Amino acid sequence: MKNKLIILLCIFTLIYAVIPRAYAADIPPYLMEEDTYEYPDEAVNVFSPRIIETMAGADSFVNKVATTSDFDVPCKAAFLIEEQSGQRLYEKNADMQLPMASITKVMTMLLVIEAVESGKITMNDTVPVTEHAYSMGGSQIWLEPGEIFTVHEMLKAVAVSSANDAAVALAEYVGGSEDSFCSMMNNRAAQLGMTGTHFVNACGLDAPGHFSTASDIAIMATELMKHPVIFEYTTIWTDYLRGGETQLANTNKLLRSYNGTTGLKTGTTSGAGVCICATAKRDNMSLIAVVLGSDSSGERFSAARKLLDFGFSNFETKDFPAVPDLPDSIPVRLGEEKRVKIQCDLPQKLLFVKGAGTQLSYKLDIPHRLPAPVFKGMKSGTLSLYSGQGKIATYDIIISADVKKLDFRKALSILTKKVGTM
């Protein structure tokens, strides 16, 4: 009996030791990024209170940015932003134009999802593989010309395994050609205010004229995150295609080592170095960390962790107070229209040093009536935000449309119409 137990124990030990290695060996190497360095767990970074003091104004309201004079991270450029407040937290060469490798695919995925949500395509549409998509190098799932996958499957290959061939196939399907899709990418970048970015391909392979900045990448990441469906893809650790024949393994190792990671995209090329746009959410705060031009995967993930740790360890969000008395329009005196729409771009969240017990209030300063003419974009008032220590921020109230001054001919025409209906 004792010998049987020993034999069984040996068998179970062998199974435990061999099967995980065999499983790992089945992961095709071409599905992984070139550098698959697995870094050790790092302690939570501790930062000097001086950094927080230099970043916070009245009542711990964060309105300044940490830089390399406060702490550094191993890369050419870096940027940290809180998603909902839009508050910048850290920047290092944030506006330097650099190659971005597969972080390019953030824009590719954004345009695909927008095409789905607009009804132009569906997730179940079949995407054919062209010779051009087949010819892509770098990370890929080895698509064959004539092979067909759904939009859902292609998007999964892009988000999880950073497949260049799948990205180009999707670009051709949505845009008609990769060149046309690149025009769409550049137009969307311009709409989002990404002034330091230019795309010449949909996958991020090194090419002249293909570049972005850390701050611009944060802008397009913020826009992509407005579509929560993307997290159904970017949080996948492993999955399959071709009925289980092709395994997908996520290139973002933070998914398994950093609490709250939600995505978003890694990238590695010889020209760009090792890059990541890392997103994570804890409690009610969502951070976007961009790292460009690291020398190794270990440095890339270390830099992203340090940035995210800095955000989560030291800051927290508070809801912007409700403003029920902010009107959507105000009267116009002697205008062709009686009222004009106004808008005030208020953040959903505000960022404070963690633990600040700040009480918030506001004051509106809007004229009862505006004299015509008024013009779109013209400032018509302010909303001031206060804490117990005084004013901490001011937001402009802006006119949303032009209203011409009422001239004699127009006034006579209106009067005539009113008399005619009496």
Q: Which residues are catalytic?
A: 102, 105, 162
Cβ partners under 8 Å of residue 422, min gap 6: none
Closest CA to 96 of 214, 204, 209: 214
Query: Is the alpha carbon torsion for 153, 156, 158, 161 positive or negative?
Result: negative
What is the identity of the amino acid at 96?
M
Q: What is the DSSP letter of 61?
A: B
Other beta carbons less than 10 A from residue 252's beta carbon = 28
The answer to whether residues 67 and 197 touch, using CB atoms and an 8 Å cutoff, is: no
Q: Are 185 and 146 in contact (CB under 8 A)?
A: no
Rg (alpha carbons) of the chain, rounded to whole number: 27
Please, which residues bridge with residue 212 across strands?
98
Structure tokens at 343: 């808008």
Q: How far apart are CA 397 and CA 276, in angstroms?
A: 37
Where do we find the tokens 């509106």?
A: 364
CB atoms within 10 A of CB 239: 18
SS3 state at 30: helix
> Residue 318 belongs to what H/E stretch?
strand 315-319
Q: Are strands 77-82 and 285-294 parallel, antiparallel or unpaired?
A: antiparallel
